[in-house]
Amino acid sequence: MSENQENTTEKVALKDEDRISWRDILSGKVMLKPRITKQYRVVFLVFILCLAYIGNKLECEQQERKIERMKVELLYEEIEFHRAIKTLNEEELLEKVMEKLKKNQLDLKVPNTPPFTY
């Protein structure tokens, strides 16, 4: 029985050694623990993946801001487009009216002053 007790006390001692506390993490001692030293490649891979994730997130946020700016610019361009079309339609209508007046030989002219508004 004494061998079993010695084995269990050794296991308990090893478990206490392998325990990772917040103090170890903050001080950096966690990198010297046997469990971690055996897994440096995995820890390094996880670190690289975390950096890639953070970089990707920042890039996506920048693209979202750029898309929002482009949406606002597109809205302004659409408004300007509709204004231009309205102006062209008004000019086209005025030209058609003037052509009909010339066909009918009426001597009407376009006024220089706008109509009276309230």
Report the Cα–Cα distance between both ends of the chain, in Å, rounded: 110
Per-residue DSSP letters for 40-51? HHHHHHHHHHHH
Write the CA distances from 56 to 38, 46, 53, 60, 94, integer angstroms: 29, 15, 5, 6, 56
Structural domain boundaries in the chain: 16-103
What pLDDT shows up at residue 63? 97
Report residue 84 as tokens: 């231009």
CB 36 within 8 A of CB 30: yes
Q: What is the pTM of this model?
A: 0.49
Provide the b/e sequence for 4-31 (b: ≥16 CB within 10 Å): eeeeeeeeeeeeeeeeeeeeeeeeeebe
Q: Following CA atoms 108, 110, 113, 118 in sequence, which dihedral angle do they give, to the nearest 10 degrees?
A: 80
pLDDT tens figures, 4-30: 666 566 655 556 666 778 888 888 888
What mean pLDDT, rounded, does the chain reach? 83
pLDDT tens figures, 67-95: 999 999 999 999 999 998 988 888 888 88
